[in-house]
Structure formats: structure tokens, C-alpha cells
Amino acid sequence: AQKITQTQPGMFVQEKEAVTLDCTYDTSDPSYGLFWYKQPSSGEMIFLIYQGSYDQQNATEGRYSLNFQKARKSANLVISASQLGDSAMYFCAMRSQGNLIFGKGTKLSVKP
Amino acid sequence: EAGVAQSPRYKIIEKRQSVAFWCNPISGHATLYWYQQILGQGPKLLIQFQNNGVVDDSQLPKDRFSAERLKGVDSTLKIQPAKLEDSAVYLCASSLVPTGTGGLRYGELFFGEGSRLTVL
């Protein structure tokens, strides 16, 4: 069965510092994709970054990078130079042959 | 480019009443999804359409939930009769290609702002 686990219900980070949000996954499919979405209080899910299971390099998108450790089945999101606007819920998601499944999310709060 | 549009944004009803949510996907997106997001949880897929056909509705409570996408563009999700546990945000998403087509990356989902349902 496919599963996404986010073990951090909430995280605090000081503005301008880096933060890592944890995500582990479980699948028996060799081909899969890992996604991170941001959900601000407005409710919309905003795509941040994607990592394919066969990608050789870790994905990066601006201040976002994905620390992909395939053997450990982890896909942690790293946000560098945190900003106040980064305060939101963050969801890790995975898709192989089926639909996109989500973890329970991590609430990130950025302190000024 | 216009995003995924949903309405209403908020709805409060009493249990056993009915409610309908509307979604208009991004123009040209063939695949449309309805997700249910209960407070404190990640979104859960209810139904996936490819054009006007259903691809996956395995997690849709069919005794009370129904959805349609008659012309392969906009879609309606209905709940009748509503229960207290249906209180959630209903998210609509669309993608250019369906799951597994053209590479997983190209099946990226774009979400609307959601419709928040409160059942009293």
C-alpha cells in the first residue's frame, strides 16, 4: 500500500533561517513522483517542487530544495531564508500509477 | 491564465440537507479531480474525471455523494443528505494530462481555493 508520513504537526523557524520539513513515503512501485504543496490560510494548494524517482539530482526551485534519499524513502523539503509569507501548511504527496495521495501536513510558522 | 474556479467558497447547512459545489477547471485541462480535506488532514481523492468519464471513484461515498462532468469541462459535486462528518473543505483540481501519461511531472495538479462546508 502507498503511504505518506509527515511526523511534524507544527514547526517554528526564525525569519531568514532555513528549515527542513520531513516526509517519508512507502510504495512498491519503482516509478513514482513526489510533490510538495503549500496551503496558506486562503485554502488553495500551491505546487512548490517535484522529484521523480529516477531523477539523479535533488530538485531545486528557488528557495525550495528537496532532499531526496531514495534508500531511506525520504523526501524532505528544505526552505532557505524563511520569510513571513512562508507561514502555511505544507503537504508532501506521492503519485505512481494511482492518484495523488497526501500526508497529514506540517504547519510552519515563521517568527519575525 | 485563469486558475481553477470553485463556488461557493463557504456553505453552512443542517444535517440531512443537500448541497452542491461547482468547479471550472483550467481551460484545456482534460482531467478533473475532487478532493475532500477534513480539518487537520491531507486531501483525500473522492473522484477523478478524464474528460466526461469517471476514472476513479473508489473513495466516493456513493450513497450520498454524486458528481458529474457532463460536457467534459465544468463539474458539480453534490451531497444529499449531508452528515456531520461531511464538514470539510472540498477542493477541485485539474491537470493537463491524467495520471501516468506523459510522465508523472506533467500530471501536475492545479487546485482551486476550495469550498468550505459546515454541517450543523
State the pLDDT at residue B1. 64
Mutate to test the interface with A, among B104, B110, B115 (most CBs of A within 10 A): B104
For chain A, first and last CA: distance in Å?
41
Q: Do residue A52 and residue B116 have CB atoms under 8 angstroms apart?
A: no
CA distances from A108 to A54, A76, A83 (A): 29, 14, 11
Q: Which of A43, A46, A99 comes nearest B45 by C-beta?
A: A99
Residue B102 has pLDDT above 90, yes or no: no
**B98 pLDDT band (50/70/90 cuts)?**
low
- Between residues B28 and A23, the one the model is more confident about: A23
B42 to chain A nearest CA, in Å? 4
Q: Which of A37, A50, A100 comes nearest B105 by C-beta?
A: A50
Average pLDDT score over residue span A52-73: 94
Q: Do residue B108 and residue A50 have CB atoms under 8 angstroms apart?
A: yes
A52 close to B (CB below 8 A): yes
A50 - beta bridge partners?
Answer: A35
Q: Which amino acid type is present at position A94? A: M
**pLDDT mean across residues, chain B:** 90
Q: In the structure grid, which three cell numbers stand for residue A5, read together? A: 508520513
**A50 neighbourhood in chain B, CB within 8 Å:** 104-105, 108
State the pLDDT at residue B89. 96
Segment A86-107, tens digit of pLDDT: 999 999 999 876 678 899 999 9
Average pLDDT score over residue span B9-22: 97
Residue B97 has pLDDT above 80, yes or no: no
A25 - beta bridge partners?
Answer: A4
A29 to chain B nearest CA, in Å? 12
Share of chain A above pLDDT 70, in %: 98
**A111 pLDDT band (50/70/90 cuts)?**
very high
In angstroms, the CA A62 to CA A88 distance is 18
Residues A15/A111, Cβ–Cβ less than 8 Å: yes
Closest CA relative to residue A44, chosen from B86, B56, B6: B6
**pLDDT mean across residues, chain A:** 93
In angstroms, the CA A68 to CA A56 distance is 10
Q: Do residue B42 and residue A104 have CB atoms under 8 angstroms apart?
A: yes
